[in-house]
Structure 1
Amino acid sequence: MEPIPLTATLSADDLRALRVAKTQLESPSLTMKLAGMVGSPVEKLISSLPAVANEKIADATQIALRKCLQIALRTLGKAEPSSGAFDKPSNLLHKLAVATTGAAGGAFGFLALPVELPVTTTLMFRSICDIARSEGEDLTAIDSQLQCLAVLAMGSLPKAGSAGEDAELGYFIVRGALAQQVSKASSEIAAKGFTAHSSTALVRLVNAIASRFSVQVSEQVAAKSIPAIGAVLGAMVNTVFIDHFQQMAHGHFTVRRLEHRYGQEAVKAAYQTIDVSLDA
């Protein structure tokens, strides 16, 4: 389908879809969600983590993202088994799977991080891909796969009312900051295929995503560090964790679907006019 001219106005249905997407993208932060669940400020819990926590979290995050990237590269150009481009995503099944890994991590504590996080992140990445497919993305395409990976960098977006005159466009700021790196990585993969996994552009993209994703991982680990709750809390935290990123994915790929039809500028302009605080 050819894009509608940029001067076009979104249909009523598409405006409603964009409103839902903005609500998802500007949902309460993961910090607030976890604090509400465990009944304690996440920042305080982070400060109580072992001294080596930051290094361990950074290493585990890099390993997890590289595993997701390998999955993406292996599946490029392969036909999807889905019966239809807009099939409803299996969000609940992915939540149940991630809850199981969270239970194991909660039972074994911080020591389980190097094993649990790559599994959890891979399951989350597959869920994000499933959501992307449900919004019409072609998962055999390089850009679509990298956009799925980029969602992991969107776990903490500036919200309306934050400092800065462009805070209400936080989603577009974060997305724009990654756009050039996604484009360069896409070009290298197109030229080199699977052997591009260690290319400079891909390494830079993974590092950029890791620097943002590791913040949410730190919050997740901290929330699961409360003593004497163990597996139950681990499962609950992981469920909140994946649900947060599923919302980001739904919002992001709805915006991209509308952009394919109306153009980026028209969708961004419509996004700015929506006041999601009226829905509260």
Structure 2
Amino acid sequence: AFLSGAALAQLHIVLGREDVPHALLRDRLALAAAEACVTFSGRPERSEALRDTLHLLRPGDLPGPAGEVYLCWRRAAERPVSIKALHRALPETAPEQIAMALDAGQGAPVARAAMALEAVLTQAPRADVPALILADAVLAQALGWDYLLPVLAGGLKRADLRKRGEDLRLACHRAVTASAHEATRLAADLARRAAHLKTVAPKLRAKGAGEAVAMFLTRDAVAPAALPLPDRAARRLCDRVVDLGAVRELTGRDTFRLYGV
């Protein structure tokens, strides 16, 4: 409990920094949480495939089971914690169930999150994704954070989700200790990268470059087609920010590329 509390205190301080790109941090942690949940379910998709599933979907396409998990996490982290926002992320979970989960625990933040996790999994043992999202929402509320920060899933093991009582609470403390340290490291890294992107942004002359930079600063990955520029101009801008060392190409492919800070 002491270690998890110290890790959360350090993370809380970092989250108070204005130079941290908070939306980008949440989006990248949502990807990690989705990957963990997909792994729990025994599916083979990892972060690269999840990115592709989301960003290369055509209108009318279905994201598939793994893609749905990723969408749930992204939506959960996009908006301030509320029953309405969580129901948007978890449309198959009734608002009344969400409200009950948010009120499931008392005491310290991690203990409350563990109680919420246990309450959902006791009622629906296979509902790993809703349980973990709601537990992170409870943790955020207990810490006074406006937004859910995905931390629990990345630190838990599949077997931990079958634990109950004190065993589950201890597993959550261990998970939060590890994940909060990783989130703190990632926040500091993204702050440095975001600062560099803002520094080189004036060198981008293309019309719509400002909007493009804003997208890079808030999203884990961006496809050139999503930028507010013509196709060729969008690809040139992506190549330019890569050359300037401000953005990375994330896929290693020659086509259907994705870019991120």
State the TM-score, normalizing by the size of structure 2: 0.31
Q: TM-score, normalised by structure 1?
A: 0.29
Structure with more helix by fraction: 1
